[in-house]
């Protein structure tokens, strides 16, 4: 089903017009007539979700505040109920008056899975000679099937449960793993377990990555799973499942070097040392890893130089952005939903934004363009550009789309930093953090060899958190993640705090913070403008998004919803 919107200016409210189109109303993609590899390749364009979960996950995070009303003093239209539902951690989206709902996303992903399964089935019906040449198509179908199931698993299953020290042994309900083309409207599927679902995902992934194509195999490679995108997905999956050695291996396979050219930091001509006597090292500007990141990741200094909000949006989310590895065009109002309070009443306020931009332990300003409308206390991060596709010029109605980067190189860099930190490779973790800081710092302020993250600086910056027994980094939920003891443990924790802060800023408005909150059992406090408060604790069932109500028609087991915190 798709929701038709009225074209509106950035400060207007998009009027909603009734309209829908069922996926099962017609034979999708002419699938019965797929009789050659070119047609299989064409079908695989549909194996990527045409909805986004970023708009759904972002309002759940700890940087979102309720401003009480939109910029003009009115209440948001029902088209933006998904923002309210996310902020309030509702069991279901309050209405289906949008393309951004839990049900729409679930359906979109399973439609993409269905396309992958149809492609795999079609390959089996081709002549033997064509089947022998179908390696890349088969690999893309398997990779998209793995990726799509993984997104569902991380969203709709209790994957990060403190009862299971190892995610790979998690016996909570998973998500239905569909491997056959669907030919009926309602069909029963067993959810299996998280561990069982992960095993199937990894099996598809491992089969696919052997034969997955490269950029040269596609006219528009960033809209397909290439080997680079597959390695980025592998790094994410390995991080979420605690396989830190694999995170590092996938980063290496992506071509991301480990920093090796290190210099000693000096002050007044003398070497700077940590309290334990170790020298403070920093990554040289011409180090291979640093140069790789400067040349192959999205540079906000360059993006900001476009000089306009729309220019920055197109530069960040487009195919020319070097950090973007996989992009999907999605039907979504994410641009409007994250446009300060022009349409919604929730956003990132000034205090929170300043804390993130000026909060680096190095003291240098981190350059991520953020701006606001006059009189609006919330900020816009120009990451997505709305492409409004008109279907009725006279009525000025149509569908809002946006290009959504699903996988970025920056995520791999910070995933590797976390893996280094948790496997005792502390200098390597510092190196990756320093590379990221150099990439994100204001180019007019940052100086190599001066604005350096090092052990004592992190211990000082995070000293209050490290000493606070109630802080999430010291909670019993995270104890098994750390391998160090004593002073080394404090440093390991400080590194993780710095990495999580970097991820929070890097992926602002992209929803990845939601998964960091789940992985690290971070409590989240939300307050409404009228004074109601609620805390999302590590044991709260609201942490896991409920399966859409329509799924119950197929008899699929719903998530528990008994231990739910109150609003007071």
Contact 181, 197 (CB under 8 A): no
Contact 92, 85 (CB under 8 A): yes
Can you tell me the distance from the alpha carbon of 315 to that of 304, in angstroms, rounded to the nearest whole number? 9
Residue 157 is assigned to a structural domain of this protein = yes
> How many other CB atoms are found less than 10 A from the CB of residue 13?
18
Residue 562 is assigned to a structural domain of this protein = no
Nearest to 429 by CA among 512, 522, 495: 495
What domain range includes position 78? 4-554
How buried is 242 (Cβ within 10 angstroms: 0-12 exposed, 13-18 middle, 19+ buried)?
Answer: middle
Return the CATH number at 453. 1.25.40.390
Residue 566 is assigned to a structural domain of this protein = no
Residue 467 is assigned to a structural domain of this protein = yes
Can you tell me the distance from the alpha carbon of 505 to that of 436, in angstroms, rounded to the nearest whole number? 11
Pairing of strands 266-267, 378-379: unpaired
Residue 563 is assigned to a structural domain of this protein = no
Residue 213 is assigned to a structural domain of this protein = yes
Residue 163 is assigned to a structural domain of this protein = yes
Alpha-helical (H) ranges within 405-508 are 409-422, 426-440, 455-461, 463-467, 486-506
3-state class (DSSP) for residue 536: strand
Sequential pLDDT tens for the chain (568 residues): 555 444 333 222 222 222 333 332 334 445 558 999 999 999 999 999 999 999 999 999 999 999 999 999 999 999 999 999 999 999 999 988 789 999 999 999 999 999 999 999 999 999 999 999 999 999 999 999 999 999 999 999 999 998 998 999 999 999 999 999 876 655 778 999 999 999 999 999 999 999 999 999 999 999 999 999 999 999 999 999 999 999 999 999 999 999 999 999 999 999 999 999 999 999 999 999 999 999 999 998 888 888 788 999 999 999 999 999 999 999 999 999 999 999 999 999 999 999 999 999 999 999 888 888 888 899 999 999 999 988 888 887 899 999 999 999 999 999 999 999 999 999 999 999 999 999 999 999 999 999 999 999 999 999 999 999 999 999 999 999 999 999 999 999 999 999 999 999 999 999 999 999 999 999 999 999 999 999 999 999 999 999 999 888 878 999 999 999 999 9
Residue 568 is assigned to a structural domain of this protein = no
Biggest CA pair distance of the chain: 75
Give me the DSSP letters along 94-138.
S-S-SS-SHHHHHHHHHHHHHHHHHHHHHHHHS-HHHHHT-HHHH
Full-prediction pTM beyond 0.75?
A: yes
DSSP 521: T
Separation in Å, CA 505 to CA 221, 309, 367, 441, 528: 27, 19, 10, 12, 23
* Model pLDDT, residue 390: 84
* Model pLDDT, residue 16: 23
Into how many domains does the chain fold? 1
Cα 498 from chain centroid? 18
Token couple for 560? 């528990």
């Amino acid at each position: 089903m798709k929701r038709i919107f009225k074209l509106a200016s950035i400060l207007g409210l998009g009027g909603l017009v009734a309209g829908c189109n069922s996926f099962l109303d017609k034979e999708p993609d002419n699938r019965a007539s797929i009789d050659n590899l070119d047609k299989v390749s064409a079908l695989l364009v549909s194996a990527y979700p045409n909805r986004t979960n970023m708009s759904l996950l972002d309002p759940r995070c700890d940087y979102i505040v309720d401003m009480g009303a939109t910029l003009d003093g009115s209440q948001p239209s029902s088209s933006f109920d998904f923002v309210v539902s996310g902020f309030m951690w509702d069991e279901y989206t309050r209405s289906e008056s949008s393309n951004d709902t839990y049900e729409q996303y679930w359906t979109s992903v399973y439609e993409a899975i269905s396309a992958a399964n149809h492609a795999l089935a079609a390959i089996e019906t081709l002549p033997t000679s064509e089947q022998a040449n179908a390696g890349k198509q088969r690999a893309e179908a398997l990779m998209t099937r793995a990726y799509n199931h993984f997104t569902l698993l991380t969203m709709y299953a209790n994957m990060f449960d403190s009862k299971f020290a190892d995610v790979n042994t998690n016996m909570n309900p998973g998500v239905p793993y569909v491997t056959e083309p669907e030919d009926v409207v309602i069909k029963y599927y067993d959810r299996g377990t998280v561990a069982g679902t992960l095993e199937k995902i990894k099996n598809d992934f491992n089969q696919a990555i052997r034969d997955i194509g490269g950029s040269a195999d596609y006219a528009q490679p960033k809209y397909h799973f290439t080997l680079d995108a597959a390695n980025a997905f592998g790094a994410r999956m390995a991080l979420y499942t605690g396989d830190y050695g694999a995170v590092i291996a996938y980063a290496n396979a992506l071509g991301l070097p480990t920093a090796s050219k290190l210099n000693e930091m000096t002050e007044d001509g003398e070497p700077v040392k940590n309290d334990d006597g170790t020298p403070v090292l920093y990554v040289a500007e011409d180090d291979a890893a640093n140069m790789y990141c400067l040349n192959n990741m999205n540079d906000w200094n360059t993006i900001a130089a476009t000089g306009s909000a729309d220019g920055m949006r197109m530069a960040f989310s487009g195919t020319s952005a070097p950090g973007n590895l996989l992009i999907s065009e999605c039907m979504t109002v994410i641009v409007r939903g994250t446009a300060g309070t022009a349409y919604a009443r929730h956003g990132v306020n000034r205090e929170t934004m300043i804390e993130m931009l000026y909060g680096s332990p190095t003291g240098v300003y981190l350059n991520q363009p953020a701006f606001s409308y006059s009189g609006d206390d919330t900020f816009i991060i120009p990451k997505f550009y709305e492409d409004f596709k008109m279907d009725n010029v006279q009525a000025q109605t149509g569908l809002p789309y946006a290009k959504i980067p699903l996988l970025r190189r920056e995520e791999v860099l910070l995933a590797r930093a976390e893996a280094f930190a948790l496997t005792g490779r502390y200098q390597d973790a510092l190196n990756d953090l320093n590379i990221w800081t150099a990439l994100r710092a204001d180019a007019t302020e940052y100086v190599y060899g001066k604005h350096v993250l090092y052990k004592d600086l992190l211990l000082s910056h995070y000293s209050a958190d490290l000493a606070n027994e109630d802080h999430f980094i010291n909670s019993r939920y995270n104890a098994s993640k750390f391998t160090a003891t004593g002073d080394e443990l404090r440093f390991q924790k400080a590194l993780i705090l710095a990495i999580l802060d970097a991820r929070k800023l890097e992926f602002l408005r992209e929803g990845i913070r939601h998964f960091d909150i789940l992985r690290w059992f971070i409590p989240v406090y939300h307050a409404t403008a009228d004074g109601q408060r609620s805390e999302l604790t590590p044991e709260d069932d609201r942490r896991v998004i409920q399966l859409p109500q329509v799924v119950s028609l197929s008899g699929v087991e719903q998530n528990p919803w008994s231990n739910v915190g109150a609003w007071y």
